[in-house]
Structures are given as structure tokens and as C-alpha cells.
Chains A and B, each alone.
Chain A
Amino acid sequence: AQTVTQSQPEMSVQEAETVTLSCTYDTSESDYYLFWYKQPPSRQMILVIRQEAYKQQNATENRFSVNFQKAAKSFSLKISDSQLGDAAMYFCALILNTDKLIFGTGTRLQVFP
């Protein structure tokens, strides 16, 4: 069975600082994609960043970057220069070629001014 684990229920960071959210996963498949989604209080899930499993290079989207360690099945999200608008629930997700998206339980990020 495939699983996604986010071991940090809550994290906090000061504005302009850097924070890293952890995610580990388990799958026997070799072909998959990993995503980080953000869910602000408005409820809508917003894609933050995605990573192809076959690519060794870590994905980057502006202030968001990932540290993808395939052998360790680890996929952490780094947010640099944190902003108040980054406060949200962050979900790590794994998708297989069955189109089934498996989510972690989320990490609530608070950003303090």
C-alpha cells in the first residue's frame, strides 16, 4: 500500500525566515509524481510545486523548493523568505499512474510578523 507521512502537525516561522516541512512516502512503484499543495483558510487547494520521480534535480518555484531524496523516500518543502500569506495547511501528495492522489495529513504553518 502507498502511504504519505507528514510528521509535523504544526510549524511556525517568522516573516522573512526559512522553514522546511517534512514529508516521507512509501511506494513500490518506480514511476510517480510528488506534489505539495497549500490550503489556506479559504479552503481551496492550490498547487505549490511538483517533482517527477525520475528527475534527480530538485524542483524550484520562486521561494519554494524541494529536497527530493528518492532512495530515502523523502520529499521536503523549503519556503524561503516566508511571508504572511504563506500561512496555510500544507499537504504532501503522491500520485501514481492510476491517477490516484494520496495525501498526507498536512502541516499547519503559522507565520509570525
Chain B
Amino acid sequence: EAGVTQSPTHLIKTRGQQATLRCSPISGHTSVYWYQQALGLGLQFLLWYDEGEERNRGNFPPRFSGRQFPNYSSELNVNALELEDSALYLCASSLAGRYNQPQHFGDGTRLSIL
């Protein structure tokens, strides 16, 4: 069974640009979660999608947005990039509506802002 896949592995952008990160969940999982892991700050919850809809959102500005496609894959978009957006972005998936089920993580996308 294929795990959660994320692309690209590494993304380099400059301030003010826009970044798009992609995630494919485990087959059968309909919930997708995005987390930001900045150096020294642990993981911060960004977004949760389920069945194509945004279900919950962390304390991030509106320039962080995303969507979930009919095949349950997801995109995270970050507009007007700032230096502090440099971080590892992790995607996770789980079975729908089952918050007690563990979330399975991808390898992450390392976003570097120059």
C-alpha cells in the first residue's frame, strides 16, 4: 500500500512569490491535513480537508489556503511568501470522520524562501 506522497520534495522561492505544494493521501483515506514544521517550533496545524471541504483551520493568515480534489488529493497554496514561511510542510491523511484514527504522514516539502 502506497503511503502519503508529497511533491515537490524541496521548493525554493523568493519573497512575494506564490508556492503550491501537493499531497496524495493513502488510498481509502478521505481526510487530509496540513502542518507547518518550522525550526524550533514543532508542528503547527494549518488546514484539514474532508470530502472536498475545509473542515478546520489553524491560526494562519488567509494567504495560506488550499483545496481538496475529487480524488482526495490536496494542494496547499501560500501567497505573498515571507521569509518566516520557510519550513517543512507535512501532509497527513486519515480515514474520514474517525478522529481516533491515527494520521499517516508524508515525507514533507521543504519550502525555502530566499
Set of chain A residues within 8 Å of B33, measured between Cβ atoms: 99, 101
B105 at the interface (CB under 8 A from A): yes
Cα A9 to Cα B88 with chains together (Å): 19
Cα A95 to Cα B94 with chains together (Å): 13
B92 at the interface (CB under 8 A from A): yes
**Interface positions of A from 35 to 70, Cβ below 8 Å from B:** 35, 37, 42-47, 50, 52
Set of chain A residues within 8 Å of B40, measured between Cβ atoms: 105
Cα A102 to Cα B44 with chains together (Å): 7
Set of chain B residues within 8 Å of A37, measured between Cβ atoms: 105
**Residues of A with Cβ closer than 8 Å to B?**
33, 35, 37, 42-47, 50, 52, 91, 95-106
Set of chain B residues within 8 Å of A35, measured between Cβ atoms: 102
Nearest Cβ distance between residue B7 and chain A, in whole angstroms? 14
17 new A-B contacts at CB < 8 Å, known A95-B100, A98-B56, A99-B50:
A33-B99, A37-B105, A42-B107, A43-B88, A43-B107, A43-B108, A44-B105, A91-B43, A98-B55, A99-B55, A99-B94, A101-B35, A101-B92, A103-B42, A103-B43, A104-B42, A105-B42
B64 at the interface (CB under 8 A from A): no
Set of chain B residues within 8 Å of A104, measured between Cβ atoms: 42
Cα A37 to Cα B92 with chains together (Å): 13
Set of chain A residues within 8 Å of B56, measured between Cβ atoms: 98-100
Set of chain A residues within 8 Å of B102, measured between Cβ atoms: 35, 47, 50
B107, A44: Cβ atoms under 8 Å?
Answer: yes
